[in-house]
């Protein structure tokens, strides 16, 4: 199950559009494991989801919480800013403005991919 969950996390994170962010809880929900946001963080910190834009994942308050997972402490902030996402001096992102809200069609497409790939 852990390998399949990591693959799902990778797929969902790769679906986050440039200039948008998603929360760990949102990723867990889209992976059909709503009570597993910490496990999403674990997968991303270990690179278990493959090459994914992990800098686009923030905590439920919009705080950039993945600094330990990146090569430099400011990598996440710099990457988001390069995509046009404003990061406050307190290292938070406005989720109302930059939060990813996948349409039902996008969510259904992710579920279909999980099914097709047997994960």
Give pLDDT < 50 ranges for the chain: none
Q: Which two tokens stand for residue 43?
A: 């997968």
Judged on CB neighbours under 10 Å (0-12, 13-18, 19+), 92 is middle
Q: What is the pLDDT of residue 113?
A: 96
Task: Report pLDDT for 21.
Answer: 98
Domains of the chain in start order, with CATH, are 2-116 (1.10.10.10)
- Residue bearing tokens 């403005």: 97
DSSP tag of 82: H
Q: pTM for this one? A: 0.94
Q: What is the pLDDT at residue 47?
A: 81
Q: What separation in angstroms does the CA of 33 have from each of 8, 40, 68, 89? A: 10, 10, 24, 32
Residue 88, pLDDT score: 98
Structure confidence by residue, pLDDT tens digits, 64-96: 987 778 888 899 999 999 999 999 999 999 999
């Amino acid at each position: 199950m852990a390998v399949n969950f990591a693959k799902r996390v990778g797929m969902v994170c790769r679906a986050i559009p440039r200039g948008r962010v998603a929360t760990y809880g949102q990723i867990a929900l889209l992976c059909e494991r709503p009570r597993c946001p910490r496990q999403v963080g674990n997968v991303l910190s270990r690179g278990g989801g493959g090459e994914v834009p992990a800098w686009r994942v923030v905590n439920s308050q919009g705080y950039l919480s993945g600094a330990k997972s990146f090569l430099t402490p400011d990598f996440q902030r710099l990457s988001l800013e390069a995509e046009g996402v404003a990061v406050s001096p307190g290292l938070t992102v406005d989720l109302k403005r930059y939060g990813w809200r996948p349409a039902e069609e996008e969510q259904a497409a992710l579920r279909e991919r999980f099914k097709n790939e047997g994960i």
